[in-house]
Amino acid sequence: MTAFSSDAAKRLAAAEALKLVAPGMRLGLGTGSTARHFVDLLGARVAGGLDVICVPTSEQTRAQAEQLFIPLATIDSVPELDLTVDGADEFDARLRLIKGGGGALLREKIVATASRRMIVIADSSKQVKTLGAFPLPVEVTPFGLEVTCRMIRATAEATGATGSIRPRQTAGGKAFISDNGNYIVDCHFGALPDPDELARRLSAIPGVVEHGLFIGVAKAVISAGPEGVEIFGRLDEAP
Residues binding ligand 5RP (CB under 6 A): 30-35, 86-89, 99-105, 108
What does the DSSP assignment read for 194-231?
-HHHHHHHHHTSTTEEEESEE-S--SEEEEEETTEEEE
Q: Which is nearer to ligand 5RP, 154 or 218 (CB)?
A: 218
Q: Which is nearer to ligand 5RP, 63 or 144 (CB)?
A: 63
Neighbour tally for 106: CB within 10 Å: 21
Neighbour tally for 46: CB within 10 Å: 19
Confirm whether residue 32 is marked as ligand binding.
yes
Least CB distance from residue 30 to ligand 5RP, whole Å?
A: 5
Least CB distance from residue 7 to ligand 5RP, whole Å?
A: 10
Least CB distance from residue 33 to ligand 5RP, whole Å?
A: 3
Contact 128, 122 (CB under 8 A): no
Single-letter code of the amino acid located at 84 = T
Confirm whether residue 31 is marked as ligand binding.
yes
Least CB distance from residue 13 to ligand 5RP, whole Å?
A: 9
Whole-number Å distance between alpha carbons of 21 and 2: 31
Contact 88, 57 (CB under 8 A): no
Q: Which is nearer to ligand 5RP, 150 or 230 (CB)?
A: 230
Confirm whether residue 49 is marked as ligand binding.
no
Confirm whether residue 99 is marked as ligand binding.
yes
**Active-site residue (options: 16, 59, 80, 108):** 108
The β-bridge partners of 140 are: 183, 208
Q: Which is nearer to ligand 5RP, 33 or 124 (CB)?
A: 33
Indicate the helix (H) or strand (E) that contains 81. strand 81-86
What does the DSSP assignment read for 91-105?
E-TT--EE--TTS-H
> Angle, nearest 10°, between helix axes 59-67 and 33-47?
30
Least CB distance from residue 104 to ligand 5RP, whole Å?
A: 4
Residue 108 a catalytic site member: yes
Confirm whether residue 100 is marked as ligand binding.
yes
Q: Which is nearer to ligand 5RP, 28 or 207 (CB)?
A: 28
Confirm whether residue 103 is marked as ligand binding.
no
What is the rounded radius of gyration, in angstroms, for the C-alpha atoms of the chain? 18
Query: Can you say which residues are annotated as belonging to the binding site?
Result: 31-34, 86-89, 99-102, 126
Query: Can you say which residues are annotated as belonging to the binding site for substrate?
Result: 31-34, 86-89, 99-102, 126
Q: Which residues are catalytic?
A: 108
